[in-house]
Structure 1
Amino acid sequence: MKLLILDRDGVINHDSDAYIKSVEEWVPIPGSIEAIAELSQAGWTVAVATNQSGIARGYYSLATLDAMHARLRELVGEKGGEVGVILYCPHGPDDGCECRKPLPGMLLAIAEHYGTGLADVWFVGDSRSDLAAAVAAGARPVLVKTGKGQGTAKGVLPEGTLQFDDLAAVAEALINPGIAP
């Protein structure tokens, strides 16, 4: 199985320090929807693992989050692709859960869902917590320079972290492996 796991905010859609609280605020990064569709068409299963503490903070409801994810699926479907399982952590940073990145819970759950290991799976994120979750889960950390990625790239990164400008560049590298860094 060719599995790719993505963070959501800052990788697929624009991020906001004020949180993405509605479907109207959920705006895809240019090229991200097409990248997911192209990966899907090339035989990749694209899953999502996203921290969504705005639920615990009362900024939006589960129904709103579900509507955002339905919109993601709809847009990718319009381009001829599919989105696999979408897992989210609805907890706040002090809730003591096992799913909130940088912990590996969501990534491990995705691997279990698909009955696969994570040793050769890329986890694409834009933050230190994403990269730490990849390492903790035994996946390959991949940084995109969208969202918080430019700032993250200025710090010390886990050994072996791959870096790309955006999700479209990740898709290009996976679909055409001769150009991967």
Structure 2
Amino acid sequence: MNSLQAVFIDRDGTLGGSDFVIYPGEFTMFPGVEESIKQLKSRGILVCSFTNQPGVADGVASAESFDSELKAFGFDRVYLCPHRHGEGCECRKPSIGMLKRAAEENGLDLKKCVVIGDRWTDLLAADEAGCMKILVKTGSGNQAFEKYRNNEYKGRWAEVQPDYIAEDLIDAISWLTV
């Protein structure tokens, strides 16, 4: 994993919170996550947030509030899709717009990057972009894992295989840094 350039971490259900959106100011990270982020950064790995936040389009929260909160948690960069599902944007996961933008802005080879998330849409985006894919079993992760294990995904969704299935973000980062 020495050539690892960046790790993209989903927010809700992966970093903390639950399987639904908890807005900035009320969101808390899972125990030990902050130390794991520091571990990645100490190895020179760029740590990026990678999150769909339709509440921004709905006026419930601002992109700036998410950006400030995530940077306070230790993230180097925040990539956020503010659009609602079905708006047809290029950034909402499972689209790869956020990953492409991050690659362009930071000179990344996405084949040397990892996406960690609790939803299959995170893994679909990672797969499409050529990133390594880690599913965590927190948030919606247990449900996504059961669907995967029971072959419930169809079409393109069924073609995606996680590179690692982690109990949580700490397990995922430990696996990456061993």
Q: Give the TM-score of the pair, scaled to structure 1.
A: 0.83
Q: Who is 1:27 aligned against?
A: 28
> C-alpha separation between the residues in 1 aligned to 2:135 and 2:102?
19
> What letter is aligned with 2:69?
R
SS, match of residue 100 in structure 1 = coil
Q: What secondary structure, in the 3-state scheme, does the structure 1 residue paired with 2:147 have?
A: coil
Q: Percent identity?
A: 33
Deviation at 1:57, TM superposition (A): 2.3
- What CA distance in whole angstroms lies between the structure 2 residues aligned with 1:124 and 1:160? 10
Secondary structure in structure 2 of the residue aligned to 1:38: helix
| Match of residue 72, structure 2, among 68, 71, 74 | 74
Secondary structure of residue in 1 paired with 2:111: coil
Whether the 8 Å contact between 1:39 and 1:175 is mirrored in structure 2 is yes
TM-score normalised by length of structure 2: 0.84
Matched, 1:105 2:97: yes
Matches within 5 A, 1:32-181: 32-60=33-61, 62=62, 65-76=63-74, 83-156=75-148, 158-176=160-178
For 2:177 and 2:127, the matched residues in 1 are separated by: 23
Report the CA distance shift for 1:21/1:75 in structure 2 as closer, same or farther (over 3 A).
closer
Structure 2: gaps of 5 or more residues: 149-157
Aligned-residue Cα RMSD (Å) equals 1.7
| Counterpart code for 2:167 | D
The gaps in structure 1 that reach 5 residues or longer are 77-82, 177-181
Count of residue pairs brought into register by the alignment: 165
